[in-house]
Amino acid sequence: MEGGFNHLYIITHTDLDGVGSAAATLLASGRSISEATILYAEPYNIDSVIREIAGHMDKGDLLVIADLGPNRDSFGEAVRLIKTLTGRGVRVEWYDHHVWSEDETAQVEAAGAKLVIDKSTCATGVVARYMPGIRGRQPPEVLPDLEAAVCAADLWRWDHPLAPKLFRVADHRYEDGREAWRNKLVEKFSKGILWDEELSSALEEYVNLELANFNTILATAYVTPPPCIVAAVFKFHGPPSNSIVGASLLSRHNADIAVIVRDNGGISLRSRRVDVQVVAKALGGGGHPRAAGARIKIGVITRLASYLLGRKRLAAKAAKMVRRKALKLGVC
């Protein structure tokens, strides 16, 4: 049982911070990517991902969950699955930096998992700061630089030279092997490689797509009137990132909230002056005060209209729904 556990399973978020968290877990545990099973999840489907591998885990294995906050639709079942796993001898550790309630924290701990939350850093930072001590290992030298680069992007600080580059390359190749690309990044980071020629080439490719797609996305914009200006757009997977689109919407329309909606009902919320975490949580999601996400139900008529009459219909539905919720909650 090298390193205090048998096989290492990691469930982490799909973005740069999720990738960084997986790499930091490998570094802090002294394992290579070939000695771990890594799966990527969103908060709304974490229960499904845990269920996918639950049957493969045995006594003495370790499951690490990182960069995934509680979600109304998946949290209860995720906790039940964790309790089943710990009951048969699987160790479960959850590292996060999102907003948790006392009840949510208590539920995870009552299920037998070790929960580490630190909102002062990104999830990569939570793993880097706490896991080496839990493992009884000396932190690898690359961990502080990995934390600094990832957190600078994830927390929108941009105070590390690699932050804007890594932010983009982590979003690269959405239509061509998303999981394989994320695993490649995890492997590089876990070997102390934060930048190389392959990543430089990916960045150039990404930026070209980012510029080409920007105007198409902005053409779907729908903006609600004051009070509570909500600017929403429709976006397929791929560049530019939700955060970059959100920042543009907030600036162009002096909006209180920016909404990026996808055809599956997933929405990303961004703001500079409104606590969108509260809005997202009321819609079944979660996140941070300035960046959060959820999933809304899209009726057949709205979906059909968006296909036939333009994606702006879907953006309008999301904008109006978010505005109503924000006004009802008194946060906007």
Q: Domain extents for the chain?
A: 2-195, 215-329
Buried-state track 189-203, b at ≥16 Cβ within 10 A, e below 16 = bbeeebeeeebeebb
Q: Which amino acid is at 18?
A: G
Per DSSP, helices labelled H in 88-196 are 102-110, 123-135, 143-154, 163-169, 178-190
CA 165 to mean position of chain CA atoms: 18
- Beta-ladder partners of 268: 260, 293
pTM of the model: 0.89
Pick the CATH number of 215-329 from 3.40.47.10, 3.90.1310.10, 3.10.310.30, 3.40.50.2000: 3.10.310.30
Return the closest-CA partner of residue 312 out of 214, 219, 210.
219
Cα three-residue angle 65-42-98, rounded to 5 degrees:
65
Buried-state track 249-258, b at ≥16 Cβ within 10 A, e below 16 = bbeebebbbb
The token pair that represents 175 in the structure block? 């239509």
Helix, strand or coil, per DSSP, at residue 240:
coil
Residues 260 and 271: beta-carbon distance below 8 Å:
no
Cα three-residue angle 314-317-322, rounded to 5 degrees:
125
Return the CATH number of the domain spanning residue range 2-195.
Answer: 3.40.50.2300
Q: In tens digits, what is the pLDDT along the chain, a chain of 332 residues? A: 445 899 999 999 999 999 999 999 999 999 999 999 999 999 999 999 999 999 999 999 999 999 999 999 999 999 999 999 999 999 999 999 999 999 999 999 999 999 999 999 999 999 999 999 999 999 999 999 999 999 999 999 999 999 999 999 998 765 558 899 999 999 999 999 999 999 999 999 999 999 999 999 999 999 999 999 999 999 988 899 999 999 999 999 999 999 999 988 999 999 999 999 999 999 999 999 999 999 998 776 666 656 655 689 999 999 999 999 999 999 99
Decide if 2-195 and 215-329 have a common fold. no
